[in-house]
Amino acid sequence: MTGTLAQFSTALADTVAASTPYVVRVEGRQRLAASGIVWSADGLIVTSHHVLERDDGLRVGLASGEVVSATLVGRDPTTDVALLRADASGLVAPALTEPDSLKVGHLVLALGRPGKSVRATLGIVSALGDSWRTPMGGRLDRYLQTDVVMYPGFSGGPLVDADGAVIGVNTTALLRGVNLTIPVPTVRTSVESLLAHGKVRRGYLGVGSQPARLPESVAQSLDQGTGLLVVSVEVGSPAESAGIFLGDTIVSVNGQAVRDLDDLLALLPGEQVGKTVPVRILRGGQAQELKVTVAERP
C-alpha cells in the first residue's frame, strides 16, 4: 500500500510540474494577484473577469519569473472570462480537453499562481450538468462543480484532469459559495468573440417578459404549455420596430419554441446579430408571425 500511495503522490507532483509553464500570475487588482492560463504561445492569456479591477496597468508573471506588461483584449462578465495579451512570445500553451468524458467522482487538480510559484489543490468533480445559464445571462456549455479548495488568488487558473489536460477555468464569482469551472468549449467561444469584437456579442429584442401559460387549445396545437408574455417594450428596440406590443406572447423564434427566458436567450447568440428572424406571437388568442431584425445587446 505504501508503494501505491507513493506512486500516486509522485504522479500528482509530476502533473503539477508539467503544468507549471502555462499557469501565470495576473496582476490586475490592488490586493492579492490572481491566476491565468497561457492560451497561445504568442501571449494570449485567459483569466477571470472579476479579478481585473482595472483595464490598464496590467501585468503577468510568467513561469520563468519574468513579469511582463499586458493589455486587455476584452472581457465577458456574464461568463467571468477575460482575455489579455501579454508582451511575451514563445510561451507554452496547455493541452485542452472537452468535459464530456468527466464523471462525478473523477479526481481533478486546481492550480494557481497568485505568488511566484504554482500552487495546487486536489479534489473531485462533485456535480455535472447540461448547459447552464449564469445569473448574469451568460451560457456555459456544461455545469461543472468541484469540491476543490479555492485558495485566494486561484480564480482564473486551470482545472486539470488526471491526464494533465486543462478542463476549464476556475472561478468563485458566478455563484456565491460555489466553486465552478468554465469549461473549455465556453472559454474557446469567448476567446474567439473577444479577439474578433473585443467583447462577447449577444442578440437583443428589447422586451421585458415573463413566462405565461398558454390557452389549452393553443398549447395542444403547439405542443408547448407556456410562452413569454411581453410586459414591456423598449423604445427604439427591434421588438418595437417589428410591431411587438405589450400583452403579446412570444411562442417561437426562428421556428424554435420559446417557453421561458432561457429559451429566448439561447436563441439570440451573437451570430444572430443583424439577421432578420421570424418571431411567432399570440395576440388576442390568434397566432401571428412578425419579422424582427436582431440587434446587439447594449
- 248 and 136 housed in the same domain: no
pLDDT at 2 over 80: no
- 189 and 211 housed in the same domain: no
| Domain finish residue from 146, 167, 197 | 197
Greater model confidence, 112 or 217:
112
Residue 58 belongs to what domain range? 1-197
State pTM to two decimals. Answer: 0.83
| 44: nearest Cα among 74, 14, 17 | 74
DSSP letter, residue 43: S
Q: What is the pLDDT of residues 146-188, one digit of tens each?
A: 999 999 999 999 999 999 999 999 999 999 889 999 999 999 9
**How far is 190 from 215, CA to CA, in rounded Å?**
40
| Domain finish residue from 140, 170, 197 | 197
Active-site amino acid positions:
50, 80, 155
Neighbours of 118 (CB within 10 A): 21
Burial class (CB in 10 A: 0-12, 13-18, 19+), 13: exposed
- 217 and 193 housed in the same domain: no
Burial class (CB in 10 A: 0-12, 13-18, 19+), 275: exposed
- 255 and 142 housed in the same domain: no
C-alpha cell, 44:
494570449
- What is the CATH classification number for the domain harbouring 211? 2.30.42.10
> What pLDDT was estimated at residue 176?
87
| 16: nearest Cα among 150, 107, 112 | 112
- 155 and 24 housed in the same domain: yes
**How far is 204 from 269, CA to CA, in rounded Å?**
9
Q: What is the pLDDT of residues 219-274, one digit of tens each?
A: 888 899 999 999 999 999 999 999 999 999 999 999 999 999 888 988 898 889 99
> What pLDDT was estimated at residue 3?
83
- 78 and 117 housed in the same domain: yes
